[in-house]
Structure 1
Amino acid sequence: MMSSVDFTAFPRAGFMRRLGAWIYDALLAIAVYMVAGAIGFGLFQLGATLGLVNMNGHQHLIDVQQSSYFYSALIYGWNIFWVIYFFLFFWARSGQTLGMKAWRLRLQHLDGQLINKKLGLIRIIYSLFGLGNIWLFIEWKHKLSLQDKLTNTEIVVLSLAANKAKI
């Protein structure tokens, strides 16, 4: 970790910059979801081949999945797990997803330290699928989203030099 950078010195990010990163990351999250879905359905196919999945008289595996709440929950849960993990991994590792890196944003504790995966998960829940950012219009002066406020974290705008540094 780069210790010479004082991450508490950077200004908090406003709505438009966060929105730009959110759109970028939404596209990446869709890609992660699709790849996880392909792998998950491949594992589902393997389970059917090994006799672990009961076809219940269906000819096609997709019909088995769509007719079963259990299999649907399993497959969609797998996909969502990997999307959530995408965010948690990057936030805990560097404070930046790829979209945040492109927009020079960093998620951190108020003291500039990185968050852990547990706090990241709490933050995802409080974000209400991104709707928590609307709170920025209420907390305009402080530039805090709902998830920032409830987890004592912040999103800051890094300088070009700090954004390029390995952190």
Structure 2
Amino acid sequence: MQLILKRLMACVYELLILLALWMLLTWLFVSAFGDATHGLKHLLLQALLWLMTGLYFVVCWVKTGQTLAMQAWKMKVVGSDGQLLTLQQASVRYLLASLLTMAFGVGLLYMLFNQKRLFLHDRILHTQFVLLNK
């Protein structure tokens, strides 16, 4: 239960960080290209926000295994060998997590019913969260 609670709290923290980044990027996009509430501009903005979010996660996972929220909650994502993720592993993890989350959150809900408390994308990719004792 402790791992689930820590992950939930880290998600809340992560969301606050991402909201700030999304607002900044949206402001820059709208300042440069105007209204983006519909049409091609709207789709471009959504794609840009998704890519920027992915860049944030992938860079953090590859460099240290931790995002800012994961550092605060003393968690790390690693491969099954305990090593940091490669660029390819981290990129596929973000893509798969995105797809499984859009599928009614099935990738996240899987954790509630999995004995090891793995997200579905972690089970598929043989990655895992570890708690740090620092």
TM-score if structure 2 supplies the norm length?
Answer: 0.84
Partner of 1:96: 66
Partner of 1:37: 26
The aligned length equals 128
Q: Are 1:87 and 2:57 an aligned pair?
A: yes
- Say which SS state the counterpart of residue 96 (structure 2) adopts: helix
Q: Which runs of 5+ in 1 are unaligned?
A: 1-12, 45-60, 161-167
Partner of 2:131: 157
Residue of 139, 143, 147 corresponding to 2:121: 147
CA contact under 8 A between 2:101 and 2:108: conserved in structure 1? no
Residue of 4, 10, 32 corresponding to 1:21: 10
Q: Which runs of 5+ in 2 are unaligned?
A: none
Per-residue deviation at 1:134? 2.0
CA contact under 8 A between 1:40 and 1:78: conserved in structure 2? no
RMSD across aligned C-alpha pairs, in angstroms?
1.9
TM-score if structure 1 supplies the norm length?
Answer: 0.69
Worse overlay, 22-31 or 131-140: 131-140
CA distance in 2, matches of 1:23, 1:120: 21
CA contact under 8 A between 2:79 and 2:85: conserved in structure 1? yes
Per-residue deviation at 1:111? 0.8
1:39-61 Cα deviation digits (max 9, x unpaired): 222232xxxxxxxxxxxxxxxx3
Q: Which has the higher contact order (CA 8 A, sep 6+)?
A: 1
Alpha carbons of structure 1 residues 76 and 143: separation in structure 2 relative to 1, 3 Å: closer
